Amino acid sequence: MKVLVAVKRVVDFNVKIRVKPDGSGLDLAGVKMSMNPFDEIAVEEAVRLKEQGVASEVIAVSCGSAACQETLRSALALGADRAMLVETDVELEPLAVAKLLASIAEREQPQMIILGKQAIDDDCNQVGQMLAALTAMPQATFVSKVTVNDRHATVTREVDGGLETLRLRLPAVITTDLRLNEPRYATLPNIMKAKKKPLDVLTPAELGIDVTPRLALLKLAEPPRRSAGIRVPDVATLLEKLKNEAKVI
Amino acid sequence: MTAPTKVLVIAEHDHVSLKKATRHAVTAALACGSDVHVLVAGHGAEGVALEASRLSGVSHVLHADGPALADHLAENLSTQVLALAHSYSHVLFPATSNGKNVAPRVAALLDVAQISDIISVIDAQTFERPIYAGNAIATVRSGDKVKIITVRTSAFDAVDAEGGAASIERMVTVDDSGLSTLMGREVARSERPELASARIVVSGGRALGSSEKFLDVLTPLADKLNAALGASRAAVDAGYAPNDWQVGQTGKIVAPQLYIACGISGAIQHQAGMKDSKVIVAINKDPEAPIFEIADYGLEADLFDVVPQLAAAL
C-alpha cells in the first residue's frame, strides 16, 4: 500500500523565539529551521511500514515556501521514496493545509496518511483531523502504536487517563504522538541519495485550492514574565514561606 | 455586531459523571455569549445530562443518546455536532484529548478555521492563544460564521456545578459511520485528584532514577498535600511515570495553585505546561537548572534528601 506522510518546516525546537517589538510577528532572521519533531516520528513510522513490507511506497508532502524542499530532502534521506511540495508564500492555516493534502490524497490514493499530532510552532493540533474529515476517512490521533493488517489498522492512542485501542477501516489518517517510535538519523550516503530522488513542485492554484487565511492575526505578544523568585536554604524555610507568604498550603 | 450569539459547549464526560473540564469551557462560553447550551452526547448518560442542566449559566442541555455515541468516536461525534452547529455562533470544546480529537473534524466539515486552546476571550470574535510552546501569545480574530474553538481549561475558572436549571431536550442521534471501532481502553485508576484540575501538583523528572523511586519518593509528599502527580517528558520516556502524567507542550497544561518540580531541569517544552501555576517550587541539585528562573521558591538540594523531609514536616 501507498503511504503519504506530511512534514512541516518549523523553527527548531531548541530555539528560544523572540517576538518583534512591534507585535507584528516573530523575529525569525537567521533562526535555525528543522522538520517538526512529530513529523520525524511520522516519517519514521512510514519507513518502518515499508521495511516491514506493509507499505510499497512512501510519499512525503510539505506545503509552504520553496525552503520546505530542504525538509522534504530530509524526509527522503530518512527513507521516503519521493516528495511533493505545494509551494506558496501565503501563511497557511491548518484548514488550507488539510485541503491541499486532501487534494493530493485524491490524486495519489494512499491507504494511509501519517501526520504529526501538532506542529510546535502554531501548536494547533488540527490538520490530521481536518484531513480525515475532508477525505471522509477514519482518524486516529495521538497514536503510540500501529499495526496494519490487510484492510484495517489497529492503533493505540494516548488519551487523558490512559490508552485506547481503535480499529480503523483503511484508508485512514493517523497522527503521531511522541512515543510511537524513535526516529532514526539520516546517514551521509542516504543524504546523498536523497538528492537524486524525485521532488515535484505544485501550487495551490494547480490543485484548485483557495488558501486565503480565515483568521486575522491582530497581535503577537511576549507572555507575561514571572518575577524572579528567591532561593531558600532549607526545607523549614520553604515550608514557612509556602504557609505564611504564598499561603498555598 | 448583531449576529446572534448562541453558544454550544460539548460536554466532556465518561457516561458516569461530567468532567470538570466542561465547567471551565462553560466559563469561556459565557464570555462569548449569554445563551449557553451544552451537548451531552453518549449512550446511557442521563445522569450526566442532569448534571449539565444544573451548571450555573447554562440555559439548555441537548442530550443525544445512542449506541453510535457510546465510545466518543470522532467520526460519529463530529457528525452529531455538525447537525447542530449551524444554529450556533460558537461551538466550544474543552482542549482535552477528546476535544482536540473531534473539534477540527467539525471545523473542516463546516469549512471554517478552528481556534485552538484559547486562553482568553477578548470579544465574541477575538481570542488569545499561546503559540511556540507558550513563548508568544497570538491575538486572532475570526470572521467565520460559526467559530469552532477549543478551550485551555487551566485558563478559565470553572462555573459552579449547582445553581442552574436548564431544560433538557433529547435529540435524534447519528448512525455509526462504520469507519472506526473501539477495541479496548486501559484506564489508569487513580485515587488522586486529576492532574489537569488539581490544586497542587508534585512533579518529578529523570533525576528520580526509576519508577520505584519515583513513586517511593514523591507519593508520600503528594499524599500529604492531596496533590496530583506529574512528570517531565524525560521521566515518562525513561518509563518512570505513565504517559498521561506528562506535563508540557505535548502533554498536559496545568496551572495549579502550587507546582512542585522535583529533579526537573525545566526545558522550554516543560515550562509550556506549568509556567502559569500560581506558585512554583523547584527542588534541584543543579544551581544552573532553568527551572530556577521561573520558580518562586528554589531549593538547591538533593531531592532524595529534601522531598522526604518535606513530606515528614507536613
Residue B9: closest CA among B66, B44, B48, B43: B48
pLDDT for res B4: 63
Locus of grid cell 480529537: B101
Q: Which residues of B touch A92 (CB under 8 A)?
A: none
CB proximity list for B72: less than 8 A, separation 6 or greater: B42, B98, B102
A45 to chain B nearest CA, in Å? 18
Give the C-alpha separation, B134 to A68, whole Å: 24
Q: Is B250's Cβ below 8 Å from some Cβ in A? A: yes
- Which spans in chain B are helix H? 20-32, 46-53, 74-85, 97-110, 211-225, 233-237, 268-274, 303-313
pLDDT value at residue B190: 78
The stretches of chain A forming alpha helices (DSSP H) are: 37-51, 68-78, 94-108, 127-135, 188-194, 204-207, 235-240
Residue type, position A230, single letter: I
**B2 pLDDT more than 90:** no
Is B232 in CB contact (< 8 Å) with chain A?
no
Chain A residues with beta carbon closer than 8 angstroms to that of B306: 234-235
Q: Could you tell me the pTM of the whole model?
A: 0.96
DSSP string, B271-302: HHHHTT-SEEEEEES-TT-GGGGT-SEEEES-
| Mean pLDDT of all residues in B185-201 | 90
Chain B contacts in chain A segment 203-242 (CB below 8 A):
213-223, 226, 228-232, 234-236, 238-239, 241-242
Q: What is the mean pLDDT of residues B9-24?
A: 97
Mean per-residue pLDDT over chain B, rounded: 96
Each residue's pLDDT expressed in tens, for chain A with a length of 249 residues: 999 999 999 999 999 899 999 999 999 989 999 999 999 999 999 999 999 999 999 999 999 999 999 999 999 999 999 999 999 999 999 999 999 999 999 999 999 999 999 999 999 999 999 999 999 999 999 999 999 988 999 999 999 989 999 999 999 999 999 999 999 999 999 999 999 999 999 999 999 999 999 999 999 999 998 877 999 999 999 999 999 999 998
Please give the average per-residue pLDDT across B142-151, as a whole number: 97
> Average pLDDT for residues B267-293, to the nearest whole number?
96
Chain-centroid distance of CA B60 in Å reads 23
Contact state of A216 with B141 under an 8 Å Cβ cutoff: yes
The arithmetic mean of pLDDT across residues B103-129, rounded, is 98
Torsion angle defined by CA atoms of residues A220, B27, A123 and B140, in that order, rounded to the nearest 10 degrees: -30
What's the pLDDT band for B1 if we cut at 50, 70, 90? very low
A90 vs B: CB within 8 A = no
DSSP state of A81: S
Query: How many helices and strands (H and E) does chain A possess?
Result: 7, 13
Tell me whether residues A220 and B139 touch, CB distance under 8 A. yes
Please give the pLDDT value at position B188: 78
pLDDT digit string, tens, across residues B124-134: 999 999 999 99
Q: What is the pLDDT of residue B165?
A: 96
User: ipTM score of the complex?
Assistant: 0.96
Cell of B291: 527551572
